[in-house]
Amino acid sequence: MHLFATHFGTYEVAADVDGKPCLKPFRHDPDPAEMGLGYLELADHPERIRAPMVRRSWLESGPLARTGGQRGKEDFVEVSWDQVSTIIADELRRVHSTHGGQAVFGGSYGWASAGRFHHAQSQLKRLLNLVGGFTSSVNTYSYGAAGVLLPHILGVDYKDACDTSPSWSDIADNCELLIGFGGFRLTNAQVEAGGTGSHRAVEWLRRCQERGVRFVVLSPAASDAPTGPNVRHIPIRPNTDTAVMLGMCHTLLAQGLFNESFLRHCTVGFAEFESYLIGEKDGTPKDAAWASKLSGVPEEAITELAGELHDCRSLINVAWSLQRARFGEQPFWSAIALASMAGHVGQRGCGFSFGLTSVNSTGQPVRRLKGPAFEQGKNPVRHYIPVARITELLEKSGGAIDYDGLGLEMPDIRLVWWAGGNPFHHHQDLNRLAEAFRRPDTVIVTENMWTGTARMADIVLPSAFPFERDDLAASSRDNWLVYSRRAMEPPAGILTDHEAYCLIAEKLGCLDAFTEKLGIEEWLARIYEGYRERYPELPDFQAFRLRGFAVLDEGEDAPAPADHFRHFVADPVAHPLKTPSGRIEIASAIGAFGYPDMGDHPTWMPPEEWLGAELAERHPIHLLSPQPAHRLHGQLEYGSVSQKAKLNGYERFTLNAADAASLELKDDQLCELYNDRGRTIAALSIDAGLSPGVAVLPAGGWFRPDGAGVDHGGNPNTLTAITPASHLSQATAPNSCLISIRAWHGSAGGF
């Protein structure tokens, strides 16, 4: 079968009536994602990068003239591949020999495309590692706060926020009550990093409902609650989930409804937490009335839910979005404390989980295919940043930052190279990022399209789309392997990242080390054989290629579902967690780092930007920026599915009817969303199910500032702040953002 693998699923490559290649849903996928069906339309889109390009004054005067101030404002000159590979090789040599490898920032965060070989970051990092290395980045935008917190609280085995979840099958069979903080935004489950052959999250959710699992969803958006029976939606003020969870903890404590034996055997630090809950330290009991005032959730709802959490076989799920906020570690830590008090952790389908439906794989009862990728080699440079500190890195050069008990030195960055990511989509406070991006001597970007990031570069390398090359796709959290076969040739003048880097490696004298003298087919076979070594039941490479896919445990009974914490809870001494105490740390030594924004136990701290903040008097709307339903971040922005969801090319945002009326705004009206950091234009859609004082503008609109600095792409990151979740994680926190909204009277599309 001729298949094409993406992060949003697998598609069959067919021919349309004119004989041109087109994509069809994969026959084995019960819930294929619509957004990918038009992917091939992008092949000849006008925004495609068609040749290597160099910014004019950089080309004319070179890196030492420091013309970075012109980045994003000046035109580009087309050059040949021979020219551009010489220019880049010379520039890498110059920076490495004059400043050292740490002066190159190659962290290059981003989702790129599915495919283990053509993985954009791995290709770039392998090249850079061969010529002196680079300053790198750690963690993710997805769950950066959780990724640093959870190893302290649950142990390193649970670093990946997906790994705490019970299986959907166990939830359906055993759980009676599923409380979802942040709800279940089902369009998110269309995505899986690395790809999948089968979208199953929605099916599992339905099965839970059929089996009588009751759902309670706390979210500012009613649309986060699944439709169907047994679902209750409770509106909540953004960023106040910690308060509600603490209010529930207090209720359990006050009513004596907590599992003392579980707390004694399986956790440490409860006494300290208890003292905080009853207000011994600060005079404020964290009771339901207190939590209600902060969150807007009725007091009775908090006490009633707390009782039910204890009385029923219950599971608390927290969406990843909640930790993408100021103090984002707290709702995850609080959920662990609350579930520990309720006492069902370790029982099948119960306890706590993070990110059910945030992506397809969370909770899937499948064996995971862990396999090799294109090796990056060894980086001789030891410097790194937490991924969301890019602005400070470029601004400060030579400064230091706190991170997880360490002090990280920030090297002086002279050269930035980004491939497979779009910081001018994904990072916060883009106007500030743009200034920071103007500091280094040289910026290189490898891209398919003229994204905001490509426009901010000095040197742009055009990259083939994933449907223009062969690859082998698999997610390390899923059980599908797909042979992703080229659907068409790339246009003349456009190379794959690998081909482009071969030209540069040749100029740098490391071509053989870069390719190991293997062709693409040999690389794919080698990667596949790496999988077969671990899973001998997989068919041989030729059979796999011919069929187009392989599935672990195909046709067999589903493997035994994961039973995280089961052995630990049964015997915490024999099966300790990898935490300092061997148990769940309700209080932890991370408090001793002394960070102003991290205590010893789950704690409510009011963010600088939320509806209860002083700033709300000036900017009274809390902006949330969830994942876009119609594309993958900024990818497929120009696909027909994404374009259809817009109004005349403008991104849509939502607001409830009362807020719209008080601002004298109407449905479909173009509005300006603004605060002290920036301005962006989007079209209003009234959403009756949205809480008052909340606006929703999904991420992924392209940053397209006009001459006055007003973004016409509807990118929420023109408004969000770089303030981290905390000094512990230094993670991204876009969901703590206050804004104002007014009608837009400027020109539409005049940019």
Ligand X SMILES: Nc1nc2c(c(=O)[nH]1)N[C@H]1C(S)=C(S)[C@@H](COP(=O)(O)OP(=O)(O)OC[C@H]3O[C@@H](n4cnc5c(=O)[nH]c(N)nc54)[C@H](O)[C@@H]3O)O[C@H]1N2
Q: Which residues bind ligand X (CB under 6 A)?
A: 110-113, 118, 120, 141-142, 181-183, 185, 187-188, 190-191, 218-221, 224, 236, 238-239, 241, 319-322, 324-325, 355, 358-359, 419-422, 425-426, 446-449, 451, 463, 466, 497, 624-629, 632-635, 699, 716-717, 720, 734-735
* Closest residue to Mo ion using C-beta atoms: 142
Work out the burial of residue 618: count CB atoms within 10 Å of its CB; fewer than 13 is exposed, 13-18 middle, 19 or more buried: exposed
Angle 669-675-678 (CA atoms, 0-180°, nearest 5)?
Answer: 85
Nearer to Mo ion, 119 or 310 (CB): 119
348's contact among ligand X, Mo ion, none, with CB below 5 to 8 A by partner kind, is none
Residue 219 vs 579, nearer CB to ligand X:
219
189 three-state secondary structure: helix
Give me the residues paired with residue 683 across strands: 652, 670
Question: Cβ closer to Mo ion: 142 or 479?
Answer: 142
Nearest to ligand X of 3, 236 (CB atom):
236
Question: What are 459's strand-pairing partners?
Answer: 54, 444
- Least spacing, CB of residue 665 vs ligand X, in Å: 21
Residue 320 interaction partner, one of ligand X, Mo ion, none, beta carbon < 5-8 Å per kind: ligand X
The runs of H, that is alpha helices, within 160-313 are 168-174, 201-210, 241-254, 260-266, 270-277, 288-295, 299-311
Which CB sits closer to ligand X, 266 or 502? 502
Residue 607 CB, nearest approach to ligand X (Å)? 10
We find the least distance from the C-beta atom of residue 57 to ligand X, in angstroms, to be: 24
Measured from the CB of residue 401, what is the shortest distance to Mo ion in angstroms?
22
| Helix-helix angle 144-153:329-342, to 10 degrees | 40
Q: Where are the alpha helices (DSSP H) in 278-387?
A: 288-295, 299-311, 329-342
Q: To the nearest whole angstrom, how small is the minimum distance from the Cβ of residue 386 to ligand X? A: 14
Residue 440: name the closest of 422, 413, 460 by CA: 413
Check residue 732 for interaction with Mo ion (CB under 5 A): no
- Residue 221: name its binding partner from Mo ion, ligand X, none (Cβ under 5 to 8 Å by kind): ligand X
Q: Which does 601 bind (CB under 5 to 8 A by kind): ligand X, Mo ion, none?
A: none
Site for Mo ion in 522-581 (CB under 5 A): none
Taking the complex as a whole, how short is the minimal distance between the CB of residue 15 and ligand X, in angstroms? 24
Burial class (CB within 10 angstroms; exposed 0-12, middle 13-18, buried 19+) of 111: buried
| Nearer of residues 425 and 507 to Mo ion, judged by Cβ | 425
For 192, the enclosing helix (H) or strand (E) is none
H or E, element range at 3 = strand 3-6
Which of the listed partners (ligand X, Mo ion, none) does 419 bind, with a CB threshold of 5 to 8 Å by partner kind?
Answer: ligand X
Residue 724 interface partner, choices ligand X, Mo ion, none, CB cut-off 5-8 Å depending on type: none
Q: Please state the closest distance from residue 203 (CB atom) to ligand X, in A.
A: 17
Q: Which sign, positive or negative, has the C-alpha torsion 318, 323, 328, 332?
A: positive
Orientation angle between helical segments 288-295 and 241-254, nearest 10 degrees: 170
Return the exposure string of 383-395: e unless at least 16 CB atoms fall within 10 Å of the residue's CB, then b.
bbbbbbbbbbbbb
We find the least distance from the C-beta atom of residue 207 to ligand X, in angstroms, to be 20
CB 625 within 8 A of CB 697: yes
Closest C-alpha to 299, from 281, 317, 319, 285: 285
Count of residues that interact with Mo ion, criterion CB under 5 A = 1
* CB-CB neighbours of 747 under 10 Å: 9
Residue 270 touches which member of ligand X, Mo ion, none, C-beta under 5-8 Å by kind: none
| Residue 221 to residue 524: CA distance in whole angstroms | 44
- Minimum distance of ligand X from residue 53's CB (angstroms): 14
Measured from the CB atom, is 586 or 611 closer to ligand X?
A: 611
Binding partner selected for residue 113 from ligand X, Mo ion, none, CB under the kind-specific 5 to 8 Å limit: ligand X
Q: Which does 490 bind (CB under 5 to 8 A by kind): ligand X, Mo ion, none?
A: none
The residue (of 268 and 636) whose beta carbon lies closer to ligand X is 636
441 or 637: CB nearest ligand X? 637
Q: In angstroms, give the least distance from the CB of 197 to Mo ion.
A: 21
What is the distance between the alpha carbons of residues 129 and 125, in angstroms, rounded to a whole number?
Answer: 6
Q: Which does 359 bind (CB under 5 to 8 A by kind): ligand X, Mo ion, none?
A: ligand X
Closest to Mo ion by CB, 110 or 548: 110
Q: How many residues can be counted in the chain?
A: 751
Select the binding partner of residue 722 from ligand X, Mo ion, none (C-beta < 5 to 8 A, by kind). none
Residue 634: contacted member of ligand X, Mo ion, none (CB under 5 to 8 Å, by partner type): ligand X
Interface pattern 118-147 for Mo ion (x via CB under 5 A):
------------------------x-----
For ligand X, the closer CB: 663 or 719: 719
- The structure tokens listed for 252 are 């359990």
What is 46-78 written as a DSSP string?
A: TTB--S-EEEHHHHHH-GGG--GGGTTTS-EEE
Give SS3 for 396: helix
Minimum CB separation from Mo ion for residue 319, in Å?
Answer: 12
CB 137 within 8 A of CB 384: yes
**Residues 684, 704: Cα–Cα separation, whole Å:** 19
Closer of 401 and 430 to ligand X (Cβ): 430
Q: Which amino acid is at 95?
A: V
* Least Cβ distance, residue 320 to Mo ion (angstroms): 7
CB-based contacts of 128: which residues, under 8 Å, 6+ apart?
A: 92, 101, 104, 106, 134, 379, 417
User: Are the beta carbons of 584 and 154 closer than 8 angstroms?
Assistant: yes
User: Which of residues 144 and 331 has its CB atom nearest to Mo ion in the complex?
Assistant: 144
Which does residue 699 touch among Mo ion, ligand X, none (CB within 5 to 8 A, set by kind)? ligand X
Give min distance, CB of 191 to Mo ion, in A.
Answer: 9
By the criterion CB under 5 A, which residues form the site for Mo ion?
142
